[in-house]
Amino acid sequence: MSQFVDECQLNVRAGDGGAGCVSFRREGPVAMGGPNGGDGGQGGDVWLVADRNVASLLAFRDHPHRIAGNGVHGKGKDLHGRRGETIEVRVPEGTIVRDMYTGEELADLQHHGDRWLAAHGGRGGRGNARFLTNRRRAPSFAEQGEHGEERWLRLELRLLADVALVGFPNAGKSTFISVVSAAKPKIADYPFTTLEPNLGVVRIDDRTEFVVADIPGLIEGAAEGKGLGHRFLRHVERARVLCILVDLAPADPDDPAHAASRQYEVLIDELGRYDASLLERPRLVVGTKADAASHEAVSRFLSEFSHESPLVMSSITTSGVRDVVGRLASLVHEARTEEPAREGRVILRPDSDGAWVERIDEHAFRVHGRKVLRAVHLNDVTTPDAHSYIEERLAKLGVPRLLARAGASEGDVVWIGEFSFDYSPER
């Protein structure tokens, strides 16, 4: 039996770039030809894609790792390496992506086809043919490929439904959705029968249908996490219409805590404390289990909630169900008409290519920056050609000036990635 999973962790790792190649022409009459080392291939990316055919995050619960392919190394004769395989990770519509450690929201994939680049593949290294200049006729070095990005994400699913059924445990939510749709939720006579949300499509005619979400029962204190708390309250956030179900025949009708007015008061209070904007949504108040309630209880309910234009129904006998469905259809139609088109959100934060200096201790510094790292990320840094290239690149990036401003002195150790050198100020 499949399970509904609405929270999970996901580790995404993009592919590493392939290394550039060091090669020289040595065929036929060309005994001392020029460099012809090819570039390494780009590492594969990892994309998250919203898919309406994916119902939950179950696929990530036991298998949280998604890894893209590495780029292929370059070869001689100017042969470039193949790109690594990019992978698309399918997630349900309504998935919110957060950084697992900071909690920062990174993307909100609401609609089928929404895409977000979760991990960028590493760039392939340039072969030695790319370093040929008038002064450097036989470059004997090439770039290594960059490592692909890796990060841990937290995925949260918030169901996209037209109507959310909200009520105490055993208020009749599951029975109602099973009567008006093809959904088959678990139904029993004990509290918290529903431990996961259920979706059902209510179809009235060829032009009118809407999605109903059966939200597990709420109790007093749910906004603080009691019972099933926040885990399921968030599924109410995106519903266009709220259907508040009040049990007219509770297990203990003489207990004031189970009175219709008290149930309604607690539900509205919990919704408002969780998200005040929920109280502004169109809502319908419905008294359930009318077949088991006394005439007095039904009359009192209709009188107390007359300002809400309440309805009464019995899902067992189907009495009043048609009226409830019709009212909900009207509210959904009005909400859809007035609601602006919802757009998914993706937070774009381009990586800065600029360099900056971090002081490690009194006589040690570390230089950061993607271009700076690429300047020293060579396959062989021991040759004079490589040293010359590194000095030229760091000078163009302004690294000596940044170190001087940071207070570096003669002989201090400067780290760039895994490469270190003794600092010598410009003369």
Total-model pTM = 0.67
Instruction: Give the per-residue pLDDT at 187.
Output: 44
* SS3 state of residue 311: strand
Give DSSP secondary structure letters for 72-121.
PPPBTTTBPPPPPPPEEEEEETTEEEEETTT--EEEEE-STT-EEEEEPP
Instruction: Give the per-residue pLDDT at 157.
Output: 81
**Ranges of the chain with pLDDT below 70:** 1-6, 30-31, 55, 159, 182-197, 206-207, 217-232, 235, 251-258, 339-353, 427
Q: At 16, list the tokens.
A: 């590493």
Strand partners, 108: 96, 345
Cβ atoms of 320 and 314 within 8 Å: the answer is yes
Instruction: Give the per-residue pLDDT at 183.
Output: 55
Rounded to an integer, what distance in angstroms lies between the CA atom of residue 354 and that of residue 335?
48
- What is the crossing angle of helices 295-304 and 260-274, to 10°? 40
Rounded to an integer, what distance in angstroms lies between the CA atom of residue 332 and that of residue 414?
64
| Structural domains in the chain, sorted by start | 1-157 (2.70.210.12), 163-338 (3.40.50.300), 356-422 (3.30.300.350)
- Residues counted in the chain: 427
Instruction: Give the per-residue pLDDT at 43.
Output: 95
Cα 208 to the center of its chain, rounded Å: 32
Instruction: Give the per-residue pLDDT at 74.
Output: 94
- Amino acid in the structure at residue 173: K
Instruction: Give the per-residue pLDDT at 137.
Output: 85
